[in-house]
């Protein structure tokens, strides 16, 4: 996971995958239906409960496609988010053919898969309005064997490098 300025971080969520359901092998890859739950342990909304479902696909190249919906519940109100992105196996880790995941004897390796996603939050709660106006980049990891899930949310604009000076005559 890239290093970021922790002052730009909006939150840190620590959680678990509560259920992993393999749907089957489809043309786009191995489809799963995974649910998760966690708590915002740093940032806002502090102490909030995060629950969601990910219609996850493992592509033939080993990259996981995240297509999650989540609800964040706190004393300040409730947020809904669409989360889209990717989960990457550790560098150099060979991924098995997708059929291997269908074997009842298959067990996930105890490794962290890097997560990179974008989230769009929606809310009508005035106290959570900033998240409702901000594209949030999720960086973190998931360990499918231990079911641990850690996500740090950053304002997308905070990750953009310094602007490039305008070229002469352009502008």
List C-alpha distances in Å: 162 to 17, 85, 145, 147, 159. Answer: 37, 24, 39, 37, 9
- Tell whether the model's pLDDT for residue 29 goes beyond 90: yes
Task: Answer for the pair 52, 70: CB distance below 8 angstroms, yes or no.
Answer: yes
Return the structure tokens found at 33: 């239906």
Separation between Cα atoms, residue 164 and residue 161, nearest integer Å: 9
DSSP string, 147-167: TEEEEEEEEGGGGSPPPPPPP
Average pLDDT over residues 150-157: 92
Q: If we measure between CA atoms, which residue out of 7, 47, 51 comes closest to residue 149?
A: 51
Q: What is the pLDDT of residue 122?
A: 94
- Residue ranges per structural domain of the chain: 9-158
What confidence category does residue 7 fall into, taking pLDDT thresholds of 50, 70 and 90?
Answer: low
Instruction: Tell me the CB-side half-sphere exposure of residue 45, using CA atoms within 13 A.
Output: 22
- Top pLDDT among 37 and 171 is at 37
Identify the pLDDT of residue 167: 46
Q: Is 132 helix (H, G, I), strand (E, B) or coil?
A: helix
Question: Distance of CA 39 to CAs 66, 121, 159, 164, Å?
Answer: 19, 16, 24, 38
Highest mean pLDDT among 123-132, 136-145, 149-158: 136-145
Query: How many Å separate Cα 35 from the centre of its chain?
Result: 12
Beta bridge partners of 93: none
Contact 13, 40 (CB under 8 A): yes
Confidence at residue 150, expressed as pLDDT on a 0 to 100 scale: 98
Mean pLDDT of all residues in the chain?
Answer: 89
Are the C-beta atoms of residues 96 and 120 closer than 8 Å to each other? Answer: no
- Confidence at 2, pLDDT banded by 50, 70, 90: very low
Choices 2.40.160.20, 3.40.50.720, 2.30.30.180, 1.20.1630.10: CATH for 9-158:
2.40.160.20
CB contact at 8 A, 71 and 78: yes
Per-residue pLDDT for 169 more than 80?
Answer: no
pTM of the entire predicted model: 0.86
Q: 47-74, pLDDT tens digit by residue?
A: 999 999 999 999 999 999 999 999 999 9
């Amino acid at each position: 996971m890239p290093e970021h300025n922790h002052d730009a971080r909006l939150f840190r969520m620590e959680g678990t995958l509560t259920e992993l359901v393999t749907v089957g092998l489809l043309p786009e890859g191995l489809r799963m239906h995974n649910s998760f739950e966690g708590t915002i342990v740093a940032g806002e909304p502090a102490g909030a409960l995060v629950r969601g479902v990910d219609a996850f696909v493992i592509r033939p190249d080993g990259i996981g496609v995240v297509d999650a919906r989540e609800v964040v519940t706190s004393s300040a109100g409730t947020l809904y988010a669409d989360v889209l992105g990717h989960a990457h196996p550790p560098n150099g880790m060979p991924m098995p053919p997708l059929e291997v995941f269908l074997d009842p004897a298959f067990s996930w390796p105890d490794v962290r898969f890097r997560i990179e996603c974008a989230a769009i939050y929606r809310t009508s709660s005035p106290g959570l309005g900033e998240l409702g106006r901000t594209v949030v980049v999720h960086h973190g990891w998931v360990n499918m064997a231990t079911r641990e899930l850690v996500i740090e949310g950053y304002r997308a604009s905070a990750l953009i490098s310094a602007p490039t000076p305008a070229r002469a005559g352009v502008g």
